[in-house]
Structure 1
Amino acid sequence: MCDIVPPKKHFITKVIGIAVFAALHSPAAHAHFAPEAVPGGVAEIRVANAEAPRPQVRFDGRPVLLQQRRNGWFALVGLPLDTPVGDRQIDVGPDGDSRPLPFAVGPKAYPVQKLTIKNPKMVTPDPADLARIDAERARQIDIRSRFRDVPVARADLDLPAEGRLSSRFGLRRVFNGEPRAPHTGLDVAVPAGTPIRAPADGVVTLVDDLYFNGKTVFVDHGQGFVSMVCHLSDAGVSPGQAVRRGEVIARSGSSGRATGPHLHWSVYLNGAAVDPALFIAPPPAR
């Protein structure tokens, strides 16, 4: 019977390091991310060689998500729905010594969606509710605009709940005949009580019951990459809690301004609401 000699510690560390590097830089890590430089989309821009130190990159003064891949450093830039079509630029380098890097924003037309809301206060709130709504809006803008500087290995996201994709991102919405802000998320038709799962690893930054959104959870995935799920029946997480991709964080419902049970899912990059469908695998062909 021969003795089994354990491998040396430094060899194990080296093997693990190689495996982690391969996982972070493998094409599979980005297989379901399809950037589209349009209003409400994501511009993917190569900003430096892979061997270069991590660059500093900003868009409209905000830092943006950076990923180091085999063929370079890439910036993922969220483009708000009101972004003008045409030439835009990011700034690469430190303040006072940056260089502009131009990119083009193409056009995209979003359809109109007309909905009937039973509660008229969810279309035209009472004056007494406006202060609450303004405070909640400011808090959400702050939450989704934070920049937690941690590595983001994957740009793809998992759909938080399995179901039919109903109302798409960017729809120009009309409630009870009144034009309102565009739809800044993706709705998934699911019955009440359906488990809602974290679309990627992250940290919970807000759990609240909001006027329009109802019961809501924000998850920060790092570097300004943020998910929000709302109209929930209940949340099973707390602010500051770390969550893993696929972990149940809530259950679906119809709280807030909703026509019925469903999941609303929003994704933000550098503070801008972007189309969640860009980050998920397309549905299988039927």
Structure 2
Amino acid sequence: MHKAMRFGALALGLLCAVQTNAASIPQGPHGGIAVVPLDAVEAVQSVTFLNKAQLIVEDYAIIALPLFHDVGEQEVQVTYDDGSIRNVVIKVLDKQYPEERITVTDQEHVTPSPRNLERIGKESARMRAAYARFSSQPPNLLPIVQPVEGRTSGVFGSRRFFNDQPRNPHSGIDWAAPTGTPIKSPAPGKVVVVGDFFFNGITVQIDHGGGFISMMCHLSEALVEEGQTIKRGAIIGKVGTTGRSTGPHLHWSVSLSGERIDPAVFMAVLNALHED
């Protein structure tokens, strides 16, 4: 069976996270991913979208669709070892994200002082540098492990208001869990950032390869060090409520080629590929 047809079958039921239409055009919502089947993957040198290299997993390119990108047809470039380039049409779909209103007791976590703004700027630069990494394509990425079990208390892309003041959309998924619950690494990788940040609290960022970076936030304790290589399922820390948090939970952000995307969609679609 043709790859695009197989993928259309296995993606069915994943909340329309990735779809194929009658013309087999890979498609997904902004803030999600599109999956492009690759022929002769062993001869593929790189896959790019919006001038950014993309993750390659098995026989597929995983295309990061920015949250604020225009909807409609776009082109992905597949470059082969012989220098030839194949343009693949994908389609970015519209999606309506929910609104979320949050009350926090510490007004500094809504309108920080100049001193804290300076701290936030330094911390943001450190995290952005980690998100910008693109190490070699991972050979053994799948399956993706859910970092912690718990009630979903926050979804990706929600338009957030803190004490009725609008802020950036939610960049990940939240799971409520008791303080001290062990947190697993979703895939093999290298720890690139460990820090205690103003908004994110105790934070761990992991480079999984191919532009796939995880960020775990609000930990009560980090159990890894920067530069440490870890296996899938390794315990990297414990659930907490540090930083701007209203209760114990894990926040997991997935950055793909420098773009924050929906972790739930990413995990479901890639694991469906693995099971195919």
- TM class by shorter-chain length? 0.7 to 0.9
Structure 1: gaps (5+ residues): 1-26
Aligned partner of 2:29 in structure 1 is 38
Deviations 1:210-237 (A, max 9, x none): 1110100011111111111010111000
Aligned partner of 1:82 in structure 2 is 68
Query: CA–CA distance in 2 between the matches of 1:152 and 1:133?
Result: 35
Query: CA–CA distance in 1 between the matches of 2:143 and 2:94?
Result: 24
Cα RMSD (Å) of the superposition?
Answer: 2.5
Aligned partner of 1:57 in structure 2 is 47
Percentage of pairs with the same residue: 43
Query: In 2, are the aligned partners of 1:155 and 1:279 still within 8 Å (CA)?
Result: no
Q: TM-score by structure 2 length?
A: 0.83
Shift of 1:155: 4.6
Query: CA–CA distance in 1 between the matches of 2:235 and 2:95?
Result: 34
Deviations 1:254-279 (A, max 9, x none): 11110111110111111111111124
Query: In 2, are the aligned partners of 1:233 and 1:252 still within 8 Å (CA)?
Result: yes
Aligned partner of 1:18 in structure 2 is none
Query: CA–CA distance in 2 between the matches of 1:171 and 1:199?
Result: 23
Find out whether 1:133 has 2:120 as its counterpart: yes
Aligned partner of 1:13 in structure 2 is none
Which structure is higher in strand share?
Answer: 2
Query: In 2, are the aligned partners of 1:88 and 1:104 still within 8 Å (CA)?
Result: yes
Match of 1:195 among 182, 188, 196: 182
Shift of 1:54: 2.3
Deviations 1:192-212 (A, max 9, x none): 111111111111110001111
Q: TM-score by structure 1 length?
A: 0.80
Aligned partner of 1:11 in structure 2 is none
Query: In 1, are the aligned partners of 2:29 and 2:92 still within 8 Å (CA)?
Result: yes
Mean Cα deviation higher: 150-159 or 197-206: 150-159
Shift of 1:67: 2.6
Match of 2:130 among 143, 164, 185: 143
Shift of 1:47: 3.7
Match of 1:236 among 223, 230, 240: 223
Aligned partner of 2:4 in structure 1 is none
DSSP-derived class of the 2:221 partner: strand
Find out whether 1:91 has 2:72 as its counterpart: no
Match of 1:213 among 200, 204, 227: 200
Query: CA–CA distance in 2 between the matches of 1:105 and 1:156?
Result: 25
Query: CA–CA distance in 2 between the matches of 1:234 and 1:75?
Result: 35
Q: Which amino acid aligns with 1:173?
A: R
Find out whether 1:260 has 2:208 as its counterpart: no
Query: In 2, are the aligned partners of 1:64 and 1:77 still within 8 Å (CA)?
Result: yes
- What is the number of equivalent residue pairs in this alignment? 249
Aligned partner of 2:103 in structure 1 is 116
Query: In 2, are the aligned partners of 1:192 and 1:251 still within 8 Å (CA)?
Result: yes
* Residues 192 and 277 of structure 1, relative CA distance in 2, 3 Å threshold: same
Mean Cα deviation higher: 111-120 or 160-169: 160-169
Aligned partner of 2:256 in structure 1 is 269
Structure label with greater radius of gyration: 1
Query: CA–CA distance in 2 between the matches of 1:274 and 1:240?
Result: 25
Deviations 1:104-131 (A, max 9, x none): 0011111100000111010111112222
